[in-house]
């Protein structure tokens, strides 16, 4: 059975003829907040490995498990009035391991778990492309797929983000590179091994729980 992906207000997002909120390039674009009058910081988050455990091409709700500290971090941003936007590569779709219906089911489960801890998402962007599995893969596809920054730029424009005060949290170099390419203030890297080729404006931490002080400092002024 298909799982409806509803906005925070209980309304279905604008959809194309496939029934999913896909734009003309085939990117999942679900924006739940109107743009603010004044530019504001936005917290951009990778999904797998940051919000939920990365078990490898997560396409089944049974595999959804929140990362420790993720819901608390998102809820804190919510309380501070900082929009939270998910920016995720989902090459499992290009690999034909799962489809958009499965992605929607995973997101519905994930958002239910977040809701139970008073946390919510304001935008979801997902790219299905992969250079080895997308026919005719080229510059347009690469612009959307991280480390390309078009997903971030699209969400930022829709939310009227102040890029110079916005940050991205990721567990891969490509997440941080995408943020740098979009002109974000910097990136917060979570993981046990810190890569040597992270962009210069990167803070590293071993857990999302440890990011609360960083979030206060970089997004809401301490």
Catalytic residue among 25, 30, 46, 122: 46
Catalytic residue among 48, 102, 122, 171: 48
Q: Bin 26: left if φ > 0, else alpha if -120 < ψ < 50, else beta.
A: left
Contact (CB, 8 A) for 21 and 30: yes
Q: Is 181 a catalytic residue?
A: no
Q: Measured between alpha carbons, how far is 162 from 146 in angstroms, rounded to an integer?
A: 20
Q: Measured between alpha carbons, how far is 136 from 129 in angstroms, rounded to an integer?
A: 10
Q: Measured between alpha carbons, how far is 212 from 96 in angstroms, rounded to an integer?
A: 37
Q: Measured between alpha carbons, how far is 183 from 109 in angstroms, rounded to an integer?
A: 32
On the CB side of 14, how many CA atoms lie within 13 Å of its CA? 7
Q: Measured between alpha carbons, how far is 40 from 166 in angstroms, rounded to an integer?
A: 8
Query: Among all residues, which ones are annotated catalytic?
Result: 46, 48
């Amino acid at each position: 059975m298909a799982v409806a992906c509803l906005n925070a207000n209980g309304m279905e997002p604008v959809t194309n003829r496939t029934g999913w909120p896909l734009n003309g390039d085939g990117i999942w674009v679900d924006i739940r907040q109107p743009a603010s009058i004044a530019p504001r910081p936005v917290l951009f988050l990778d999904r797998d490995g940051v919000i939920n455990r990365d078990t490898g091409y997560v396409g089944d709700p049974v595999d959804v498990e929140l990362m420790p500290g993720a819901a608390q971090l998102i809820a804190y941003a919510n309380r501070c009035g900082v929009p939270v936007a998910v920016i995720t590569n989902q090459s499992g779709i290009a690999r034909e391991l799962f489809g958009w219906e499965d992605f929607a089911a995973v997101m519905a489960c994930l958002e239910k778990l977040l809701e139970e801890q008073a946390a919510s998402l304001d935008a979801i962007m997902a790219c299905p492309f992969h250079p080895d599995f997308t026919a005719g893969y080229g510059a347009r596809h690469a612009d959307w797929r991280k480390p390309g920054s078009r997903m971030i730029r699209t969400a930022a424009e829709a939310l009227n983000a102040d890029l110079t005060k916005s940050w991205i949290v990721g567990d891969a170099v490509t997440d941080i590179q995408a943020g740098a390419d979009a002109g974000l203030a910097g990136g917060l890297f979570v993981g046990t091994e810190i890569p040597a080729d992270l962009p210069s404006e990167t803070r590293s931490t071993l857990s999302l729980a440890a990011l609360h002080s960083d979030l206060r400092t970089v997004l809401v002024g301490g």
